[in-house]
Amino acid sequence: MATQAFQALLQTCKHVVVLTGAGVSAESGVPTFRGSGGLWRTWNATDLATPGAFVRDPSLVWEFYNYRRELVQRCRPNPAHLALAAFERKVTEDGRRFTLITQNIDGLHAAAGSRNVVLLHGSLWDVCRADRHGMKASKPCENRKQPLVPALEGKGAPDPATMAADIPREALPRDDKGHLLRPGVVWFGENLDPDVLSRAQQAVDDADLFITVGTSSVVYPAAGFVSQVAARGVPCAEVNLESSGATASCKYTFQGRAGEILPDLLEVSNV
Ligand code: BJW
């Protein structure tokens, strides 16, 4: 019954906004952050995603990102990414609006054919200059070379027994003026790109249906979107393996794997 009621809303809504997190890419083989998949060697992935970690040990942080660039390069969109892209085509052909806000940096939504995507936390394929605090000192730009420098070749194995490569600073990725580069993503304690955040916030403010998929909903500002939408009386739905920080705000909850649930729920399995 809940499914039918939700699907009726999908037919009539004027602007559906979907927020995705790491869980949407889990079935493509991309590790999530929290839970058992969130360890790289002996570190929590989130402990390495900070400017402080980069200042302390830029070699270690670059090894971690080199590993993820290599891994994601081999990953393909799964049925959840494909269902969202097919649903966007369906909605926009009807003259209605669809916005996909993702916290993921893996690029798999674009690879699946999604068009109106807001990359809240940046892209794994971007780099930028680092200042002495590890913060961004230039606008991120794309660099898909893999590995970025010869010293990173084969580095970043996730096994806890792996020795740190301790790459000397001069052999780490640098720009043409010799400045140290860092991944062009958004780390804890960093502001999001104001234009990106404004696009996301406008969509959140304008949504008349909101779906959160595969995020633990603990990281702000993304974690605040669902309660903002729900506070306006707009229906919210969640697709997740387990309950999350968003569940209490969601009228509709669909528990399970996104790749199994979304194609049928969005009625795009035959598209
Ligand atoms: C499945 C599944 C399947 C699995 N199918 N489901 C307000 C209050 C309190 C704190 C703050 C606040 N505002 C800002 C902060 C500080 C901080 C923050 O939020 N801290 C919290 C931890 C409390 N936020 C920030 O620092 C942000 N900056 C900011 O707001 O600037 C202004 C400011 C600064 C400082 C103070 C105050 C204001 C920036 C946040 C940047 C987050 N960066 C990362 C790394 C990105 C780069 C990279 O990838 O390397 O983003 S951390 C990491 O967490 C990554 C993710 O995008 C993000 C969210 O994780 P996600 O996607 O939810 O993954 P998981 O693993 O947590 O969950 C997976 C889910 O999937 C689970 O629920 C599973 O069940 C599910 N699942 N398989 C369906 N098959």
Q: Which of 15, 109, 121, 179 is catalytic?
A: 121
What does the alpha-carbon distance between residue 117 and residue 81 come to, in Å, rounded to a whole number? 12
* pLDDT tens digits, 131-166: 999 999 999 999 999 999 999 999 999 999 999 999
- Shortest CA distance to 141 belongs to which of 150, 152, 153, 129? 129
Q: Are residues 141 and 16 in the same domain?
A: no
Helix (H, G, I), strand (E, B) or coil at 4: helix
User: Ligand 1: which residue has its CA nearest to atom 20?
Assistant: 219
* Alpha helical stretches, state H, the chain: 2-12, 23-26, 45-48, 51-56, 58-73, 79-93, 108-112, 194-206, 222-231, 258-265
* pLDDT tens digits, 232-247: 999 999 999 999 999 9
Evaluate whether 101 touches 222 at the Cβ level (below 8 Å).
yes
Does residue 135's CB lie within 6 angstroms of at least one atom of ligand 1? no
Q: Are residues 1 and 87 in the same domain?
A: yes
| CATH code for position 256 | 3.40.50.1220
CA of 25 to the centre of ligand 1 (A): 15
Final residue in a domain of this structure, among 158, 184, 210: 184
106 has binding-site annotation: yes
- Greatest Cα pair distance in the chain: 61
Q: Are residues 215 and 262 in the same domain?
A: yes
Q: Are residues 53 and 177 in the same domain?
A: yes
Q: Are residues 40 and 105 in the same domain?
A: no
CA of 117 to the centre of ligand 1 (A): 18
- DSSP letter, residue 36: G
Query: Would the pTM count as exceeding 0.95?
Result: yes
Final residue in a domain of this structure, among 154, 184, 214: 184
Q: Which residues pair with 43 in a beta bridge?
A: 40
Check pLDDT > 90 for residue 262: yes
Final residue in a domain of this structure, among 184, 199, 214: 184
Q: Are residues 240 and 163 in the same domain?
A: no
Q: Is the dihedral of CA 132, 134, 135, 137 positive or negative?
A: positive
Question: Which pLDDT band holds residue 36 (cuts at 50, 70, 90)?
Answer: confident
- Whether 121 sits among the annotated catalytic residues: the reply is yes
| CATH code for position 137 | 3.30.1600.10
Q: Are residues 267 and 143 in the same domain?
A: no
Does residue 81's CB lie within 6 angstroms of at least one atom of ligand 1? no
Q: Give the pLDDT of residue 270.
A: 66
Q: Are residues 205 and 261 in the same domain?
A: yes
Does residue 258's CB lie within 6 angstroms of at least one atom of ligand 1? yes
Mean pLDDT of 34-61: 94
Q: Are residues 41 and 130 in the same domain?
A: yes
Q: Give the pLDDT of residue 1.
A: 74
CA of 221 to the centre of ligand 1 (A): 8
Q: Are residues 52 and 24 in the same domain?
A: no
* Domain extent at residue 16: 1-30+78-124+191-271
Q: What are phi and psi of 125, to 5 degrees?
A: -95, 0
Q: Are residues 26 and 107 in the same domain?
A: yes
Mean pLDDT of 83-99: 97
Number of domains making up the chain: 2
- Shortest CA distance to 144 belongs to which of 106, 180, 177? 106
- DSSP letter, residue 43: E
Does residue 23's CB lie within 6 angstroms of at least one atom of ligand 1? yes
What does the alpha-carbon distance between residue 63 and residue 68 come to, in Å, rounded to a whole number? 9
Q: What is the best residue among 212, 220, 239, 264 to mutate for testing ligand 1's pocket, by most ligand atoms within 8 Å of CB?
A: 220
Q: What are phi and psi of 146, to 5 degrees?
A: -140, 115
User: Ligand 1: which residue has its CA nearest to atom 57?
Assistant: 103
Does residue 49's CB lie within 6 angstroms of at least one atom of ligand 1? yes
Q: Are residues 198 and 240 in the same domain?
A: yes
Does residue 108's CB lie within 6 angstroms of at least one atom of ligand 1? no
